[in-house]
Homo-oligomer: A and B are copies of this chain.
């Protein structure tokens, strides 16, 4: 109707999607700015944007981009790369691996297990509460190995469906 080629992205629609996807991430516990930045990167065709581009699309300050990106890099959701011949930086989503990071809660699970072990001791292994903790601990240990296997199955499944890219 209005725009020219079909290849021109509907900026409005894309932005709506970015915000609604970011909202999901926020609801799942991610901070707002990291969520918005991540959603923007994910919906860019190149899978990467510069700081300036992010600031413009999301209407946020360079400082906000910087903070968000630091968080995302720390959690391995995004990587930073230097644009050759420029002092610009590009932030990139690791194609298909970002959701692996999402399930890669190894460190998180380990901490839970630590807390639970401490719980079994504090409460006494022979008490009802202690037994409840022990069982929960066993659950997390179970989950831990299951997730690894699940991700292996996913990679097989994915390759079949999408090719090895």
Give residues in A with beta carbon < 8 Å to B: 9-10, 13-14, 16-17, 20-21, 24, 27-29, 42-47, 93, 95-96, 99, 103, 108, 111-112, 115-116, 118-119, 122-124, 127-129, 132-133, 135-136, 138-140, 142-143, 146, 150, 153-154, 157-158, 161-162
Q: How many copies does the complex hold?
A: 2
Contacts known (A13-B122, A142-B154); A132 close to B24, Cβ less than 8 A: no
- New A-B contacts (15) at CB < 8 Å, excluding given A13-B122, A42-B136: A9-B127, A16-B122, A21-B119, A24-B115, A27-B108, A28-B108, A29-B29, A42-B129, A43-B123, A45-B128, A93-B132, A96-B135, A142-B154, A143-B150, A143-B154
CA gap between A9 and B139 in the complex, in Å: 25
14 contacts between A and B (CB under 8 A): A10-B122, A16-B122, A21-B115, A24-B112, A27-B111, A28-B29, A42-B129, A45-B129, A47-B129, A96-B136, A135-B162, A138-B158, A143-B150, A146-B154
A140: chain B residues within 8 A (beta carbon): 99
- A140, B102: Cα distance in complex, Å: 11
A9, chain B: closest CB distance, angstroms? 7
Please name the residue on chain B nearest to A165 by beta carbon: B135
Chain B residue numbers with a CB within 8 Å of A20 are 115, 118
